[in-house]
Amino acid sequence: AQTVTQSQPEMSVQEAETVTLSCTYDTSESDYYLFWYKQPPSRQMILVIRQEAYKQQNATENRFSVNFQKAAKSFSLKISDSQLGDAAMYFCAYAQRGDMRFGAGTRLTVKP
Amino acid sequence: NAGVMQNPRHLVRRRGQEARLRCSPMKGHSHVYWYRQLPEEGLKFMVYLQKENIIDESGMPKERFSAEFPKEGPSILRIQQVVRGDSAAYFCASSPITGRGSVSGELFFGEGSRLTVL
């Protein structure tokens, strides 16, 4: 079974600074998807960014970007110009043929 | 286009009672997933269903838990004889089928149903 590992239970960043959240995964497949989801206190799961494994170019969504290293099976999320509203749990997820598995999450705190 | 709808949002049951959680996928989505989230933990996969068919139930506890997605109506996650350890948030997600016939990678989540067992 595929596993997703987030080695940072908690991270903290100063407002307007940059923070990187780590994620590694284990798979023998070559075609899959990777995601970062944000879960604020409301518990709603919000898609932050998505990466298709066959694309070498790193995905970017405004202040959010990823560093996708397929050979290393690494998928980190970089948040630039951090804002107070970025404070949440962040989950890395792997999906292949409809099967999505999540990491344990990283709690991000943003300090004013 | 309404999102994934889950109800009830909050459910309180006493030990030994039954809990039924409902999920209506987004319009046009034919795949439903159930996840459980314990406090301060990530989402754990439970089951993946298509209409009238269970695709993968490898994350479902062997006893007391069942899920269905009938031809008509919402998907139901049923927990019989609930125990305190069943207290959690249960998330439903749905996904469409891409034009190629394979399942799109992204899941669209409901707001979750929080079950509290007294």
- Residue A95 burial by CB count (10 A; 0-12/13-18/19+): exposed, middle or buried? buried
Q: Compute the nearest-CA separation of A91 from chain B (Å).
A: 7
Task: Name the residue in chain B with its Cα closest to that of A50.
Answer: B106
Task: Name the residue in chain A with its Cα closest to that of B90.
Answer: A43
pLDDT for res B100: 44
Task: Note down pLDDT in tens along chain A; length 112 residues.
Answer: 568 999 999 999 999 999 999 999 999 888 889 999 999 988 889 999 999 888 889 999 999 999 999 999 999 999 999 999 999 999 999 988 767 889 999 999 999 9
Quote the percentage of chain B above a pLDDT of 70: 92
Q: Compute the nearest-CA separation of B62 from chain A (Å).
A: 18
Mean pLDDT in residue range B45-60: 91
pLDDT for res A44: 87
Quote the percentage of chain B above a pLDDT of 90: 68
pLDDT for res B46: 94
Asked if B113 is an interface residue toward chain A (Cβ–Cβ < 8 A), one would say: no
Contact residues, chain A to chain B, C-beta under 8 Å:
1, 6, 32-33, 35, 37, 42-45, 47, 50, 52, 91, 95-105
pLDDT for res B107: 84
How far is Cα B83 from Cα A15, in angstroms, rounded to an integer?
A: 43
Q: Do A99 and B93 touch (CB under 8 A)?
A: no
pLDDT for res A100: 84
Contacts of residue B41 in chain A, CB cutoff 8 Å? 104-105
Q: Compute the nearest-CA separation of B10 from chain A (Å).
A: 13
pLDDT for res B103: 52
Among B9, B107, B113, the strongest candidate for a mutation testing the A interface, having the largest count of A CBs within 10 A, is B107
Burial profile A36-52: b = 16 or more Cβ within 10 angstroms, e = fewer: bbbbeeeebbeebbbbe
Please say if the pLDDT value at position B1 is more than 80: no
Q: Residue A75: phi, psi to the nearest 5?
A: -150, 85
CB contacts < 8 A, A to B, total 57
Closest partner residue to A33 among B37, B42, B105, by Cβ?
A: B105
Are residues A11 and A106 in contact, defined by beta-carbon separation less than 8 angstroms? yes
Mean pLDDT in residue range B22-45: 90
Q: Residue B84: phi, psi to the nearest 5?
A: -60, -30
pLDDT in tens, B60-118: 999 999 999 999 999 999 999 999 999 999 999 998 765 444 555 678 899 999 999 99
Contacts of residue A103 in chain B, CB cutoff 8 Å? 42
Identity of the residue numbered A40: P
Asked if B21 is an interface residue toward chain A (Cβ–Cβ < 8 A), one would say: no
Please say if the pLDDT value at position B3 is more than 70: yes
pLDDT band (50, 70, 90) for residue B39? confident
Q: Do A98 and B109 touch (CB under 8 A)?
A: no
